[in-house]
Amino acid sequence: MATSLNPSATAGIVARASALFEDLSFTSAREWKAAKPGRKVIGYMPIYVPREMIHAAGMLPVGIMGGGDQLEVIHGDAYYQSYICRIPRSTIELGVSGRIDFVDGMLFPSICDVIRNLSGMWKMMFPHVYSHYFDVPQNYRDDIGGNFYANELAELRHDLGELRGKPITDDELRHSIAVYNENRRLVRDLYTFRAERPWQAPAAEVYLMVRAGLVLPVEEHTIMLRDYLAAARAEERPMRDNCRIVLTGMFCEQPPLNLIKSLELSGCYVVDDDLLLVTRWLTGDVEIEGDPLRNLSLAFLHHSESTAAKYEPNQKEKGQHLVRAVKRTSAEGVIFAAPSFCDPALLERPMLQHVLKEAGIPYIAFKYAENSGQMQPIREQAGTFADSIKLWSGA
């Protein structure tokens, strides 16, 4: 384990994560695959897939989060009307341009109708690649949604077993659950650390750290997180007079990294967010003993993040996760940032805003696209928001 308390270690780790982030050909995942014959890679899209299952099959799960602001979309636009978000078109671009041709299977989780329909497009465009729409329950009773989900997991387990030519055993799954439990704990530690000392763990760095987990083998990522946390704790950085905000709405199409940086530069420390939820979707450790499918299923039902893609059965609970996040992190406001044309984020927004209003929590809202270039308006909006929060807290 390469833990170092040398302050410059942060920069080194961030540089590595940054290189992984910028590499639109997924070289590290390609290298992982090439290192041993028979290795397979499974791509997945937002919002959540049980990566334990892929890991248990000895495969590498790779998060496909669109093309960001560096990918030139040449083919993808021919597949989508202007009034559909960016992520499906840049994902198609990644596919058509051969950038993810090493991927042996693709999982399209239940998040919205765009990704749902993309699952069918993928089947047609890449008929030789395993592709599967991964459904999850919207009913949270153990004997209803729980059973349904356990059976869906069993189907995935069967498919991945077929793909590798050998069924996935319970013990393999238990091992993978333990490995991911550890990884999730570290992601949560990182979030806690940032909420405590946001100046020591800038949002863009935290993003890169977590994002690295979408391409690295989980064991490697766990080490990276540990190293970063140790280095970031050891490195004293100047504290700015920023306000503290929770960022919400970015759970699917990714904002440009510049956007995240811009928020901090304009006076807002990000102390919580819903970026890359797959890395901490399950909010506690998954039970290891017993039936692994049932354990994954119960964790999904009772200990998973609240987000727009999920139904909230209890009206009183609607939006409370956001209020709790604000309280937990001592945030002073919320920034709603949604991809343009994103149904889940934008339909959810008014409900969350009503809840915040009632709780007396200030907020602002804007939209972005993964390839947004102009940060000035967002900077101004965030800057004004930060100033007004300071004014309020000073008053």
Partner 1 sequence: MTTQTKIVTSRAPVKEAVKDASMVKQKEMMAAHYDRLTSAHETGDKVAATFVPGNLNELIMCFDLLNNLPEVNAIQNGLRRVSGSYVLEAEKIGHSEDVCTYVKSDIGMMAKGNIAPNGKKFPDPNVLLLSYTGCFTFMKWFELLREQYKCETIMLHTPYMGDGKITKNMIDYMVKQLKDEVIPKLERVSGVKFDIDRLREYLKKSTKAEDDLVRVLQSAKSKPSPIDAYFGGIYYIGPIFGAFRGTQDAVDYYKFLREEVEDRLAKGLGPVTPDGDMGKEKYRLVVEGPPNYTSFRQFWKMFYDEGAVVVASSYTKVGGVYDFGFRHNPDKPLETLAEYCLGVYTNRSLPMRIDMLVNYINEYEADGLLINSIKSCNSFSAGQLLMMREVEKRTGKPAAFVESDLVDPRYFSAANIKNRLESYFQMIDQKRAGVDAAA
Applying CB under 6 A, which residues contact ligand SF4? 85, 87-88, 111-112, 114-115, 252-253, 339, 342-345
Q: Which residue has the tokens 């833990």?
A: 3
DSSP 287: P
What end-to-end distance do the CA atoms of the chain give, in Å?
49
Rounded distance between C-alpha atoms, residue 154 and residue 373, angstroms: 43
Smallest separation, CB 249 to ligand SF4 (Å)? 9
Closer by beta carbon to partner 1, 13 or else 160? 160
Q: Which amino acid is at 164?
A: R
Closer by beta carbon to partner 1, 51 or else 132? 132
Long-range contacts formed by 51-54: CB under 8 A, 24+ apart: 51/180, 51/218, 51/278, 52/173, 52/176, 52/177, 52/179, 52/180, 52/286, 52/292, 52/296, 53/153, 53/156, 53/157, 53/160, 53/168, 53/173, 53/176, 53/296, 54/160
> Which of partner 1, ligand SF4, none interacts with 346 (beta carbon under 5 to 8 A by kind)?
partner 1
Tokens of 228: 């970063």
- Contact flag: residue 118 with partner 1 (CB under 8 A): yes
- Contact flag: residue 97 with partner 1 (CB under 8 A): no
Beta strands in the chain (DSSP E): 41-44, 60-63, 105-109, 130-134, 243-248, 268-273, 333-339, 363-368
Rounded distance between C-alpha atoms, residue 28 and residue 149, angstroms: 32
Closer by beta carbon to partner 1, 51 or else 310? 310
Smallest separation, CB 169 to ligand SF4 (Å)? 34
Smallest separation, CB 365 to ligand SF4 (Å)? 15
Closer by beta carbon to partner 1, 81 or else 376? 81
- Contact flag: residue 377 with partner 1 (CB under 8 A): no
> Which of partner 1, ligand SF4, none interacts with 125 (beta carbon under 5 to 8 A by kind)?
partner 1
Closer by beta carbon to partner 1, 77 or else 285? 77
Q: Which residues bind partner 1 (CB under 8 A)?
A: 78-81, 83-84, 88, 108, 110, 112-114, 116-121, 123-125, 132-133, 135, 137-139, 141, 143-145, 147-148, 151-152, 155, 308-309, 311-313, 315, 318, 338, 340-344, 346-351, 353-354, 367
